Amino acid sequence: MTFSDRLRQLRQEKKMTQSVLGRAIDISPRMISFYESGNHFPRDEIILKRIAGLFQVSLDYLMGYSDLREEDSLKKLCGTYRSLSAADRKTVMDFMEFLAEKNPPSA
């Protein structure tokens, strides 16, 4: 999915109009329309951060580099994992592999 697709999807999930989104991140609704159509891309990193923050997704998700939305959940997961003993880390990884085999990704 592209940035424009993700932006449109996130906005629609929140039942926001382009005008409401524009006001929320301090840009014109016309620019939101340009972003969603793929005709323009935010030149300013601040705009990308505002969008990601508003929708509570990672920049990687917003940009289409990752399908994982929840940056805060991932940070918490990583922090918890790092605090575990080596044996507990192995147990976690074994369990995650078990779950992955049990629930293969859909094509």
The answer to whether the pTM exceeds 0.75 is: no
pLDDT of amino acid 84: 94
Residue 84 corresponds to which tokens in the numbers above? Answer: 């575990």
Question: Can you tell me the distance from the alpha carbon of 12 to that of 6, in angstroms, rounded to the nearest whole number?
Answer: 10
Rounded to 5, what percent of the chain is helix, strand, coil? 70, 0, 30
Residue 73: its pLDDT value, please? Answer: 75
Angle at which helix 29-37 crosses helix 18-25, to 10 degrees, equals 110
What confidence score (pLDDT) does residue 106 get?
Answer: 64
**Distance from first CA to last CA of the chain, Å, rounded?**
14
